[in-house]
A = this chain, B = another copy of it.
Amino acid sequence: MNKLFTFEIQDRQGAARNATFTTPHGPLKTPLFAPVGTQATVKGLTPAQLETTNSTLVLANTYHLYLRPGADLVADMGGLHNFMQWQYPTLTDSGGFQVFSLAAMRKIDDDGVTFRSHIDGSTHRFTPEKSIEIQEKLGADIIMAFDECAAPYDFEYNQLAIRRTHVWANRSRNAHTRADQALFGIVQGGVFPQLRQESAAFIANLDLPGIAIGGLSVGEKKTEMYAMIEVVNSVLPEEKPRYLMGVGAPEDIVNGVLRGIDIFDCVLPTRLARHSAALTMHGRLNLMNAKFAHDMQPIEPDCTCYTCQTFSRAYIRHLIVARELLSGTLISIHNIHMLQRLMSELRMAIQNGNLDQYASSFLSNYEYKPGKTADTIFHELME
């Protein structure tokens, strides 16, 4: 591991741990949650507002930035940090997941993926080498190996996908040149324990500075997601950060931390906010609901975020009903702050050795639908 990136574990309880992951843009206290700034902006928030949510790591999407404004332009502007003016650590994904989920057309072969832009239909090709080249131009502190994410219940496709993902992880490692970036590998394998085990062992063996678990929260059951985390983490080395990609529902974060996950990211807090939903320590509130019309309370009475310290539910509901953009900004500030509060309380519980009590108390007070993944619930809400 490069000396710029060290992972020091401070406290442990069961599989969970508190650690510090150092990066060229400062240390990260884990377990942590990273909000997503897809197009080099966490939607609707200035970096100054994002700072007030106690966020540290911010994720940006390689697929989007490659298409617009282009990696060369971001590089010319001094890289992602200077471009978006976020002075804390950043992470870019490999672009693979977005190609598979967003591109207008995609054709995968063993060498890479050819796809059409969802913006203008133009044809592009990503290979592991190309993804790393783009991510080196973007310049995030943490970058990801190019991988293939298969439908979770398709065994044969997952077999094929991990074979490719492993070859591509090797090629990503060989292509990577910047010492000031940590390249993480990605474990795939759907909901199949033997594939997850095999993938975890292969990726761990590459001895990269961190390892991610991909292909979860994509429609499988929550029990299956948690089982896969256990399977993978039982194989992964303890001394490296473990990143559960695309997961950010509070109940999944708590369950992930209990099983040894260090890093989470998700669009959930900001996307929910743009659809009028607030995250609280007790569940979600749909602030469009008429019952909030005269409610003088803040979203969450004991919350210390700017939104809760300043505005009533009645005002935020008015902004939603009047279609004022400020509602998305204010709820995003709260939702991200709420997840950062959860992370901080989880770290405190690990430090104090009472994580099990904290987690069971949180989960019994938090209203969610335990049979479904965050993603499924999320899509219900969007409809």
Contact = CB atoms under 8 A, between A and B. Distances in A.
A47 interface: yes
A328 interface: yes
A86 to B, nearest CB: 11
Nearest to A333: B46
Interface of A: 39-41, 43-49, 64, 68-69, 73, 76-77, 83-85, 293-294, 296, 306, 310-312, 314-315, 317-319, 321-322, 324-326, 328-330
Given A76-B294, A296-B77, A306-B46, A39 B322 contact: yes
A69 B45 CA distance: 25
B325 A47 contact: no
Contacts of A293: 69, 73
Given A46-B306, A84-B315, A85-B315, 12 more contacts: A39-B322, A43-B325, A44-B325, A44-B329, A46-B310, A48-B310, A69-B314, A73-B294, A73-B318, A76-B294, A77-B315, A325-B329
A369 to B, nearest CB: 30
A83 B312 CA distance: 8
Contact of A324 (B43, B296, B322): B43
Contact of A44 (B85, B317, B326): B326
Given A44-B325, A322-B68, A326-B46, A314 B39 contact: no
Contacts of A39: 318-319, 322, 324
21 contacts: A39-B318, A39-B319, A41-B324, A43-B324, A43-B326, A44-B325, A44-B329, A46-B49, A46-B306, A46-B326, A47-B310, A68-B321, A69-B314, A73-B293, A73-B318, A77-B315, A83-B312, A83-B315, A83-B318, A85-B310, A85-B311
